[in-house]
Amino acid sequence: MSFHHSSPIRIHAASLIAALWFVASCNGYSQVAPKYEVATWYQFKKAAVTYTFDDNTSKQLTVAIPIFDKYNFKATLFPVISWQPDWAGMQSASDRGHEVASHTVSHPHLDALSPAGQENELKTSQSIINSKIARARCLTIAYPFCAPSDENITRKFYIAGRICSGMIEKSTPQDFYRISALTAGSLGPFKVAADFNKIVSEAKDQGGWCVFMIHGIDDDGGYSPLQSKELNAHLAFVSAHPDDYWVATFLNAVKYIRERNALSVSETAVKRKSLKITVTDTLDHEIYNLPVTIRRELPAHWENAHVYAGGKTVNSSITSEGSKKFVVFDVMPGKESAYVIKAR
């Protein structure tokens, strides 16, 4: 058999990419159609930052959470059930978008308990929080003393767990049940605003996720107290850089990561003045219910566009990179198709 080189086969790059995307989609892999991009972090922020508060110390709700409210940032509260949390205050915080999640019933070393003992701590804590906090679900846990419970047990109740290995997390954690946290306050390396600012700046450069572990506030008697003036100064820094940092609860950051990684985006109809988009994933939408940010390069000669889904206008924006323009918008996986319409 001989091969002749006088008539080489030429395949247009876009056609090849589209063909590969179609084949991959047919084989069950999550894929994103050409010209689309899924944001690593919500609204294409450069890093995610999460602030978690353990042990329901007395000034968390009265001093720290109001600082977050001032900047419209959301935090995560990990109360210990037997330490008499202020449930009314936590319900109020939850109603304002803060997360209330598990730090067990009695704050034990979980790895020292029997499997039945571990399950009782995890199950009971979750059940009580769900009974006390309306309109929310307890789905994450912070392990006391950063000692994880048996993962097979943890998976029965929670979708993620927090330890404190002192590292910036990657954009996708290696293990969702051992997510790293950074110890704040007098006994940790993050004592003053400058310490916090430096590490979130490093996370921005890495495209990663900072999870802070905070206990006491000012003089409330909690472990490793953090001064509220330093927390305020740091949050002012984050607020001054809105394009860089997505401040999210522990739960919402986990949801977003998993949704982003499972997303399939297909362009199912292309017309001169409109594009039809289908966005799907294989996750449980009773749990994974956050919008995910995507962008699409505008077709040639489109100067602007609007986005519609479910018969309603979707908030969108137009951004530019060099000579290219993009429409940026949020979509709910599994919902009705979205439409990008050329604006007049």
The CATH number that applies at residue 270 is 2.60.40
In the listed set 179, 212, 242, which residue is the last one of a domain according to the structure? 242
User: Which own/partner pairs from 16-22 qualify as long-range (CB within 8 Å, at least 24 positions apart)?
Assistant: none
Distance in angstroms (rounded) separating the CA atoms of residues 339 and 184: 45
Look up tokens 């990008």; give the residue. Answer: 340
Question: Does any domain span residue 295?
Answer: yes
Q: What is the pTM of this model?
A: 0.91
Q: Within this chain, do residues 215 and 145 fall inside the same structural domain, yes or no? A: yes
91 and 130 in a common domain: yes
On whether residue 125 sits in a domain, the answer given is yes
Cβ neighbour number for residue 71 with a 10 Å cutoff: 14
Residues 262-302: tens digit of each pLDDT: 999 999 999 999 999 999 999 999 999 999 999 999 999 99
Residue 19: predicted pLDDT: 38
Asked if 65 and 201 sit in the same domain, the reply is: yes
- Residue 122 CB neighbours (<10 A): 24
Q: Is residue 253 part of a domain?
A: no
User: Looking at the domain assignment, is residue 24 inside a domain?
Assistant: no
Domain range for 69 is: 47-242
Q: How many CB atoms lie within 10 A of CB 268?
A: 10
Looking at the structure, tell me whether residues 183 and 294 fall in a common domain. no
Tell me whether residue 322 is exposed, middle or buried, using C-beta atoms within 10 angstroms of its C-beta: 0 to 12, 13 to 18, 19 or more: exposed
219 & 113 share domain: yes
Question: 248 lies in a domain?
Answer: no
CATH of the domain at 175: 3.20.20.370
User: What confidence score (pLDDT) does residue 123 get?
Assistant: 98
CB 248 within 8 A of CB 51: no
Q: pLDDT tens-digit profile of 130-140?
A: 999 999 999 99
Helices (H), 96-181: 115-132, 151-154
Evaluate whether residue 37 is within a structural domain. yes
Residues 167, 62 share a domain: yes
| Whether 150 and 217 share a structural domain | yes
pLDDT of residue 344: 76
The per-residue pLDDT for range 229-275, each reduced to its tens digit, is 999 999 999 999 999 999 999 999 999 999 999 999 999 999 999 99
Is 108 a residue whose pLDDT tops 90? yes
Res 10 pLDDT > 90: no
pLDDT of residue 137: 98
Residue 202 and residue 283: Cα distance in Å, rounded?
31
Rounded mean pLDDT of 193-219? 98
Q: Is residue 249 part of a domain?
A: no
Tally of domains within the chain: 2
**Same domain for 156 and 225:** yes
Q: Are residues 84 and 228 in the same domain?
A: yes
Same domain, 173 and 36: no
Q: Confirm whether 258 is domain-assigned.
A: no
Reported confidence tier of residue 30, pLDDT bands at 50, 70, 90: low
Domain match, 96 and 145 both: yes
77 neighbors 90 (Cβ within 8 angstroms)? yes
Q: Both tokens of residue 334?
A: 């599994």
Are both 33 and 58 inside the same structural domain?
no
Give the confidence band of 9 by pLDDT, cuts at 50, 70, 90. Answer: very low
Of residues 22 and 181, more confidence is placed in 181
